[in-house]
Structure 1
Amino acid sequence: MAAAVLFAVSILTIFIAYKLFQRLRYKLPPGPRPLPIVGNLYDLKPVLVRCFTEWAQIYGPIFSVYLGSHLNVVVNSPELAKEVLKDNDQQLANRNRTRMINMFSKNGMDLVWSDYGPHYVKVRKLCTLELFSAKRIEALRPIREDEVTAMVENVFNDCVKPENKGKALVMRDYLGMMAFLHITRLSFGKRFMDSNGVVDSEGEELKAILDGAIQIGSRKSFAEFLPWLPFLFKAENEALAKHDSRADNFTKKIMEEHTLARKRTGNTKNHFIDAMLSLQKDYDISDDTIIGLLWDMISAGMDTTIITVEWALAEMVRNPHVQQKVQEELDRVVGKDRVMTEADIPKLPYLQCVTKECFRVHPPTPLLLPHKAVTDVKVGGYDIPKDSTVSVNVWALARDPSVWKNPLEFRPERFQEEDIDMKGTDYRLLPFGSGRRICPGAQLAINLVTSMLGHMVHHFTMTPPDGVRVEDIDMMEQAGLTTYMRTPVRIVPTPRLSADLFKRVAVGSV
């Protein structure tokens, strides 16, 4: 017992001495006072991005927060975002990987969580030139349109059932299945569902793996902040290892299937797993990198799509004049005797403005993935010590009245008045990040979200459930690193096109 107390006191003394040294040596940004060992963990509110935005009002546009003993600096203005993502891009290009992320990313052998260096540059080149090239995105368009129209057909079939007439549907159910089928077809080249809408055994295994990742990720674990005491978290470590092994086995099995199929036919498909396997030697990438990249795409491609389109549909219900304006544009450009396609999007400028406005007000990753300092660097006149983490609060940027007029108002017209880029060149609007770490799949995400929203507004008039006022719709985010709606939105969809236009536009193998 005495030895344990002595050990704890020693750790506490070392921690306090180190923090005093940091404060004397560096001019750190202001922030809430941290406690020994736990830092500011005791101060954090469940919806982290709202907590940080409130702190920015108190401490200024740049502040420090300690997650355990780790220093995290949060920036909350476009000027500071530019310093982080452009001016000091290379010095802040690494990633801070937690124990869990390190396992899922194969020790940073993927793209999202790899440190900046030769490996990152190589994998980034693969993604930019091969996986997310304009040619491949266009080649994969039939899959997107197939799954979007399948979702519309499912909503239609359910809303016209006699027992459902006038009843509200939970949109997240339809969006979630669409996102699952779409991203798994792009990543694994399989739909995992038969013609009767039944998910097959492989699909059930994949869903179980994804559910397991969500459960692990949602647990509040002090193991991430006390890495020097691993023996206290043996059960958690075992659960992590078991989950990682299960995901590995699933992915390797599908990789082997595709390798054998290519040897038999000599054909390479457009989906990502076939592309990576066929380019593996050219780019000198390991199986671990392929596995890591596939799970990067699945984790990034599912949540962001569901989150953004659900918020967009909620905003359509809360702002019926916006919904009507989109419908008028769709009726004028597409008409009511055919289904819209992605080829129509360039001729639908107001729909594109609605998509932008949704990414502005409801960015799916409100705190961009954290940047880690490669060396000591200055931001906003403050010191950022090597190995500290810097986060850009894009949610706060969207709500800054000095940046946006009436920032809390959902008003797509603001993008008609000023053409603002959302792919990293304008630091007021950064849903996909900027610089070396910008999301390589930004254009794919924009195409998909715009298509899903356009199809839903073209096919249906969406209203709130009976007895629910639009101002009563819960617009709060749920706790977590992404901005899912706290309460899944419920909508009454009323078909506005002829029944024959609600059929799925199925495609074969792409």
Structure 2
Amino acid sequence: MDYMTILLGLFFIWFLVSLRRTKSSKRLAPGPFPLPVIGNLHLLGDKPHISLTQLAKNHGPIMNLKLGQINTVVISSSVLAKEVMQKQDLAFSNRCVPDSLHACNHSDFSVIFQPANSRWRTLRKIMNSHIFSINKLDASKHLRTKKIQELIDYCYKSGENGEAVDIGRAAFRTSLNLLSNTIFSKDLTDPFADSAKEFKELVWNIMVEAGKPNLVDYFPFLKMIDPQGIRRRMTVHFTKVLDLMSGLIDERLKERELENHANVDVLDALLNISQDSPEEIDRNHIEQMFLDLFAAGTDTTSNTLEWAMTELLKNPHTLEKAQEELAQVIGRGKLVDEADAAQLPYLRCIVKETLRIHPPVPFLIPRKVDEDTEIFGYTVPKDSQVLVNVWAIGRDSGLWENPLDFKPERFRELEIDVRGRDFELIPFGAGRRICPGLPLAVRMVPVALGSMLNTFSWKLHGGIAPKDLDMEEKFGITLAKVQPLLAIPIPL
């Protein structure tokens, strides 16, 4: 017997003993047997949200996996999600930060990824007060109306020329300019041309790199090597966005020095705070907050609009019912006002159904426990990564009848909302880590979607039959369509 055989044998015995010791000292949730070194990494595949949903059917709604060196707990039921994000929210409130998000020191400043400490609470309060409060959103309503009108005008122009609209890209331009007007009082892209392509690809590249399985996240000792180059590429992407934000801030500071600029937008409000109370927020925090907003707030909104239009074009009867409601309530051909949404229950049902089947962020943002934590009799070990699989919850046949069918009518009888109170439908998360942009998203998506449906009928590009529409997903932190939705608008 050679030395290598002996060493392998000793390693295997050590592995079995350590595994047994771990299981005897802590009652871990059930899960697939981990292989030496890699654990369960081989089970993830290129669409982890689907792989983990299938595994949960065998191992249960709370599942323990070993992804390399990282213990990971996957939550796949609404009951357990409520336990994690409401009943034990504090214990599960910190973040598991992917290595890629350390690029440009983003995780040290990000409202999304900072630990739930006093600095995070200060930044979150500033964001809620100066960007997403009811008063601020009411005051910026005219901006959203203008951007929706520009979206409709762009669709008219395309329709007159018989050209198909790339729905996702058009929605992205609208989201981008809405945010940039709210923050900087200016467009970042021409609303009537496809000039947002580069920025959209930049944001998508950030989402792809952040959502891509990274060896460093599973084997932290590889951090210095960055073997896949993910952090290096993310540094390039982040630097481009931060340079753009920095240039806009410099421009504003010069205007303020010349005293020819009124305090009108988010940037002014944040600069005022940084001058009066620099301990609360400084320029670094402002730039990184804008990176959070543009990366997280543009792609998620445009993806939701694209998926909603895709489902409606795939289900013509549902589209017809939505257009009938719009015609009866506000009159055909008119833009939907934010105040109209309350009078359009079927449109709101369509948005909820879209978010159920196509949640923008399938695992939300990973959480982390800093101490051993017990949930439903199982131990979640210290430093475990915790994933809440909202994609799986939205397709749970125990919660939803015929869950794969796009059926907005199901919400007519259900008092279920998306604001983090009903754990059957939590596309924006819940608890103290709920998405801060939720108040803007729930205003913008129904208005944009309703306006597009009430001003045009839509024909799929290339003569594609509704039943043949491609529904394949592309996995990143967000879920986008593999094939962009191309449709020709025909004025009603």
Global fold match (TM > 0.5): yes
Cα pair distance change 1:126/1:328, threshold 3 Å:
same
What runs of 5+ residues in structure 1 fail to find an aligned partner?
1-7, 497-510
State the one-letter code of the partner of 1:256: D
Could you tell me which of 260, 263, 268 is aligned with 1:268?
263
Q: Whole-Å Cα distance in 2 between the matches of residues 409 and 195 of structure 1?
A: 34
Alpha-carbon displacement from aligned partner over 1:350-384 (angstroms, at most 9, x marks no partner): 21121111111211111111111022111222100
**1:507 aligns to what?**
none
**1:99 aligns to what?**
99
Q: Whole-Å Cα distance in 2 between the matches of residues 486 and 404 of structure 1?
A: 26
**1:23 and 2:23 correspond:** yes
**1:73 and 2:67 correspond:** no
Could you tell me which of 246, 264, 273 is aligned with 1:252?
246
**1:300 and 2:306 correspond:** no
State the one-letter code of the partner of 1:73: V
**1:87 and 2:80 correspond:** no
Q: Whole-Å Cα distance in 2 between the matches of residues 386 and 17 of structure 1?
A: 21
Could you tell me which of 215, 222, 233 is aligned with 2:215?
222
Q: Whole-Å Cα distance in 2 between the matches of residues 210 and 11 of structure 1?
A: 44
Q: Are the counterparts in 2 of residues 187 and 298 from structure 1 also a CA contact under 8 Å? A: no
Cα pair distance change 1:475/1:346, threshold 3 Å:
same
Q: Whole-Å Cα distance in 1 between the matches of residues 307 and 138 of structure 2?
A: 26
Alpha-carbon displacement from aligned partner over 1:180-221 (angstroms, at most 9, x marks no partner): 32233334433134587485xxx8985675465356446654
> What SS does structure 2 have at the residue aligned with 1:71?
strand
Q: What is the root-mean-square deviation in Å for CA atoms of aligned residues?
A: 2.9
Q: Whole-Å Cα distance in 1 between the matches of residues 13 and 222 of structure 2?
A: 17
Q: Whole-Å Cα distance in 1 between the matches of residues 379 and 191 of structure 2?
A: 59
Cα pair distance change 1:152/1:337, threshold 3 Å:
closer
> What SS does structure 1 have at the residue aligned with 2:252?
helix
Q: Whole-Å Cα distance in 1 between the matches of residues 38 and 208 of structure 2?
A: 23
Q: Whole-Å Cα distance in 1 between the matches of residues 169 and 387 of structure 2?
A: 31
Q: Whole-Å Cα distance in 1 between the matches of residues 475 and 197 of structure 2?
A: 27
State the one-letter code of the partner of 1:262: R
**1:330 and 2:326 correspond:** yes
Alpha-carbon displacement from aligned partner over 1:484-503 (angstroms, at most 9, x marks no partner): 1222223232210xxxxxxx
**1:151 aligns to what?**
151
**1:120 aligns to what?**
120
Q: Whole-Å Cα distance in 1 between the matches of residues 207 and 70 of structure 2?
A: 24
**Superposed displacement of residue 448, structure 1:** 0.9
Identity %: 31
Q: Whole-Å Cα distance in 2 between the matches of residues 189 and 266 of structure 1?
A: 11
Between 309-318 and 324-333, report the one with greater CA deviation.
324-333
**1:141 aligns to what?**
141
Q: Are the counterparts in 2 of residues 105 and 113 from structure 1 also a CA contact under 8 Å? A: no
Cα pair distance change 1:476/1:209, threshold 3 Å:
closer
**1:279 and 2:273 correspond:** yes
Q: Are the counterparts in 1 of residues 206 and 295 from structure 2 also a CA contact under 8 Å? A: no
Q: Whole-Å Cα distance in 2 between the matches of residues 251 and 71 of structure 1?
A: 37
Q: Whole-Å Cα distance in 2 between the matches of residues 446 and 139 of structure 1?
A: 16
**1:108 aligns to what?**
108
Q: Are the counterparts in 2 of residues 12 and 37 from structure 1 also a CA contact under 8 Å? A: no
Alpha-carbon displacement from aligned partner over 1:444-473 (angstroms, at most 9, x marks no partner): 001111111101100111233464332211
Between 359-368 and 232-241, report the one with greater CA deviation.
232-241
Could you tell me which of 432, 437, 452 is aligned with 2:428?
432
Between 427-436 and 27-36, report the one with greater CA deviation.
27-36
**2:185 aligns to what?**
189
Q: Whole-Å Cα distance in 2 between the matches of residues 315 and 198 of structure 1?
A: 24
- Normalised by the length of structure 2, the TM-score is 0.89
Cα pair distance change 1:441/1:195, threshold 3 Å:
closer
Q: Whole-Å Cα distance in 2 between the matches of residues 173 and 194 of structure 1?
A: 12
Q: Are the counterparts in 2 of residues 351 and 450 from structure 1 also a CA contact under 8 Å? A: yes
Q: Are the counterparts in 1 of residues 312 and 319 from structure 2 also a CA contact under 8 Å? A: yes
**Superposed displacement of residue 97, structure 1:** 1.0
Q: Are the counterparts in 1 of residues 29 and 63 from structure 2 also a CA contact under 8 Å? A: yes
**1:339 aligns to what?**
335
Q: Whole-Å Cα distance in 2 between the matches of residues 470 and 235 of structure 1?
A: 40
Between 449-458 and 401-410, report the one with greater CA deviation.
401-410
> What SS does structure 1 have at the residue aligned with 2:106?
coil
Q: Whole-Å Cα distance in 1 between the matches of residues 270 and 15 of structure 2?
A: 45
Cα pair distance change 1:187/1:17, threshold 3 Å:
farther
Q: Whole-Å Cα distance in 2 between the matches of residues 306 and 454 of structure 1?
A: 14
State the one-letter code of the partner of 1:422: V
> What SS does structure 2 have at the residue aligned with 1:413?
helix
Cα pair distance change 1:193/1:463, threshold 3 Å:
closer
Q: Are the counterparts in 1 of residues 150 and 192 from structure 2 also a CA contact under 8 Å? A: no
Could you tell me which of 312, 317, 321 is aligned with 2:317?
321
**1:396 and 2:392 correspond:** yes
Q: Whole-Å Cα distance in 1 between the matches of residues 436 and 323 of structure 2?
A: 31
Alpha-carbon displacement from aligned partner over 1:92-131 (angstroms, at most 9, x marks no partner): 1000112211235633322110111111211121122222
**Superposed displacement of residue 171, structure 1:** 1.9
State the one-letter code of the partner of 1:393: N
Q: Whole-Å Cα distance in 2 between the matches of residues 75 and 22 of structure 1?
A: 21
**Superposed displacement of residue 252, structure 1:** 2.1
Alpha-carbon displacement from aligned partner over 1:425-456 (angstroms, at most 9, x marks no partner): 11111011111101121120011111111011
**2:4 aligns to what?**
none
**Superposed displacement of residue 316, structure 1:** 1.1
Cα pair distance change 1:394/1:132, threshold 3 Å:
same
**Superposed displacement of residue 285, structure 1:** 1.5
Q: Whole-Å Cα distance in 2 between the matches of residues 286 and 51 of structure 1?
A: 42
Cα pair distance change 1:463/1:244, threshold 3 Å:
closer
> What SS does structure 1 have at the residue aligned with 2:65?
strand
State the one-letter code of the partner of 1:269: V
> What SS does structure 2 have at the residue aligned with 1:484?
strand
Alpha-carbon displacement from aligned partner over 1:66-94 (angstroms, at most 9, x marks no partner): 23211111111111011100111001100
> What SS does structure 2 have at the residue aligned with 1:90?
coil
Q: Whole-Å Cα distance in 1 between the matches of residues 197 and 411 of structure 2?
A: 42
Q: Are the counterparts in 1 of residues 473 and 481 from structure 2 also a CA contact under 8 Å? A: yes
What runs of 5+ residues in structure 2 fail to find an aligned partner?
1-7
